[in-house]
Structures are given as C-alpha cells and as structure tokens.
A and B are shown apart, each in its own frame.
Chain A
Amino acid sequence: MKNIKKILFSALVLFSLQFGLGGCIVDGGGYYHDEGPWYHDGPWLYGDGWGGDRRGGGHIDIDIHPPGFRRH
C-alpha cells in the first residue's frame, strides 16, 4: 500500500513539473525581447498621408501591375 502511494505521488509530482516547467520555457522564448524600444514613434510612422481630402472617392492615376511570378 505504501509503495502504491509513493508511486502515485511521484507520478503526480513528475506530471506537474513537466507542465509547469514546459509552460515557463515557452513563455520565456517569446516574440518580444527585453531590449528596450525597437523604434521611436514619430511623424515618419503617422498614417495620415491621405487625410483631409480623401473622402468622396475620386481617382488615382496609377497602374497596379500584376506581380511577376513563375509558371510551373
């Protein structure tokens, strides 16, 4: 009986550690690095380039090319 309990407890401990440590490993390998800001926000990143007069449709005189691609 004692041996069975020991085995069960040991299995539970191992199972829990596996998930616990596994979660920590994934979380620590994240997309964002702690290296400070990658960029400084400023006018170069403002998206208002078509503000003001952009409503009402209109026309833009450019040709949108289909991109090149290779036929297989």
Chain B
Amino acid sequence: MHTTSIYHRLATIVAVATTMLGAIGFATSARAAPFPPLNDPATKETHPGKFVWAELFTNDSAAATKFYSGVFGWTALTLAQNGVSYTVLSNGNHPVAGLRQRSSSASPHASRWINYIAVTDIASSLSLVAKAGGEVRAPAREFPQIGTQAIITDNEGSPVGLLQSSSGDSADDEPTPGDWNWFHLLAKDPPTAAVFYRQVFNYNVTLDARTEKKSQLLFSSDELNRGGVSVLPDRAGAEPGWLGVIRVDNLDATLARVQTLGGEIVVAPHDAAFGSRFAMIADPTGGIVGVVEYENNANPVNRP
C-alpha cells in the first residue's frame, strides 16, 4: 500500500470523526442556550430593598409555562442542563421570572412563587436572618448571568429570596402591563413581621397613610415604596406569605384567559385603592399571584 493511500484513508477517518463531533457539538450548543442577563446591558444602579426577580418552584414547568405565556403574553426560554430544566419568562425583552423545576423527590404540593429582594452584600444580609427570628433555607449560591441568590423564611415562616444581581438593578421606572407591580406580605402579626424586614433588609417601615387601612404597613427604600404588609385574612387554609402582583391592561380579559387556560380565580375582582381593580389567581399547578388594573391605565406616583 502506498504511503499516499494510507494518508488519504487516515485523513478521511479523522475528517469523518471530527465532522460527527462537530455536529454533536453544534446541536449541544444550540440546546444549551445561554441564560439571559437580568439587565442587558448591565446597569450601574443598585436598589437594595427592591423586588427584582421571581421564581416559581414547580413540579410541572411545561404546564406553568403554557399558562403564564398565554395569560400574560410572556415569552419562554427553556434551558435544560444536567437533566434539570429552568425556564426564563420575559415580558417583552426583559426577563421577569424563572420557573425552577423541583427535584424529583419533592412532594406533590402546589407550586410556590418566591420573590427576590435586591441586596448589595448577601453574606451580610444573611448574617442578620437568624438573629431576627428567621431561617436560611437555601444558602447563597452564584448562578451565572443572574447573580448570587439565597432563600430565607421570615419570623412567621414566609419564604422570600435575596438576590445580589451580577448585572445591576433595573431603574425605578413605571411597570408596564405584564410586569410585577407590587409585592404584599400577608402576615399574622404585621408589626412583628415588619421588624424582621427592617432588621434584615433595612427597610423604612411606615403606616399606610394614603388608604383607609391603617393596619397596613409599607416597606420603602430609596424613598420609594417597595411592598406592604397587612393582616392575613381569616380564611380557612390561608397561611402567611408574600403575594406578587402583576399589572395588566384589561383585568376582565386577563381573568377570561386564566379560566380558558385551566387556572382559577382565587379572589374575585373588586375595586381597590388608587383607582385599581384587583384579583388573585392560581395557575394550573397551584402557584398564586395577584393581578391589578389601573383606571384609565394610569399608574399614579406613590411615595412614602
């Protein structure tokens, strides 16, 4: 056999093998799309105390994705790595939420939304949790493109997240329809719960002077309201917890889509303060959020 022929055969084998490797690699790279940064381009702003991210911990990401995409018009990007999926939901061009698949050993309980509060030094914030009566449930861990996350439960057992973003925090602009609009803690004892959040997140806590509900407290930072706390309603099965509220431009149309897509109306729509109409819904996997529409689509400025 001539040397040239051997060279040709070897070269052919190498070329075919590397072509196959290339095809596999190309397919893998297409499947493993990079996680979109929370803020792109990154900002140089930090707004500790602001709610900046939300994750639904669910046993059925596919059902949840279909529901939230259909109801709120969010777009979904599912990342699958190491046998675990994570879905990023975006409102327009900015990510607003993630769907985190629960581990296979998780119980069959309903999905749960965890809302994340911005911090600038997550280790320092976590060091305050136990002293304030809370507990660290998921320790600080860095996730590429998002930042360092942790989850705690407060002094009444309500879970809430901490996020030290790696791309800064978004500006304090008016939320558009499809964005998170408000975060409200329903607590057994609001004043006691408020102490926890003041100690851990350095919130300024004030009485709500703008509504008739004098028992409602407001959490603010940067002189802006970030969330509120009021007494947990006396309903069977109701437990303390944070409620994320999404702004919509047409509440009735939104609720119609909720029912069409297999969700439930947990609290019927009703008029609320600031010219708003509000309702609570449950997705088909049990995750609960609020939805709010403002009269004439106006979202008045509200400062402490």
A residues with a Cβ closer than 8 A to B are 2, 5-6, 9, 12-13, 15-24, 26-27, 29-35, 37-42, 44-55, 57-72
Contact = CB atoms under 8 A, between A and B. Distances in A.
B238 A50 contact: yes
B18 A12 contact: yes
Interface stretch (B66-74, B101-109, B121-129, B194-202): B101-109
Nearest to B143: A31
Contacts of B89: none
A64 B181 contact: yes
Contact of B103 (A22, A41, A62, A64): A41
A55 B22 CA distance: 54
A42 B112 CA distance: 12
Contacts of A47: 57, 109-113, 286-288
Contacts, number: 238
B4 interface: yes
B193 interface: no
A46 B174 CA distance: 32
Given A41-B102, A59-B267, A64 B236 contact: no
Contacts of A67: 175, 181-182, 224-226, 302
B44 interface: no
Interface of B is mostly: mixed
Interface residues of B, number: 104
A18 B21 CA distance: 10
A65 B280 CA distance: 15
A17 B21 CA distance: 7
Contacts of A39: 137-138, 151
Contacts of A26: 28-29, 32, 34
A40 B184 CA distance: 25
Given A15-B22, A31-B35, A55-B264, A63 B302 contact: no
Nearest to B279: A57
A64 B181 CA distance: 9
A12 B15 contact: yes
B263 interface: no
Contact of B22 (A18, A44, A57): A18
A38 B12 CA distance: 47
A34 B29 contact: no
A53 B236 contact: yes
B203 interface: no
A69 B276 CA distance: 17
Nearest to B236: A53
A43 B252 CA distance: 34
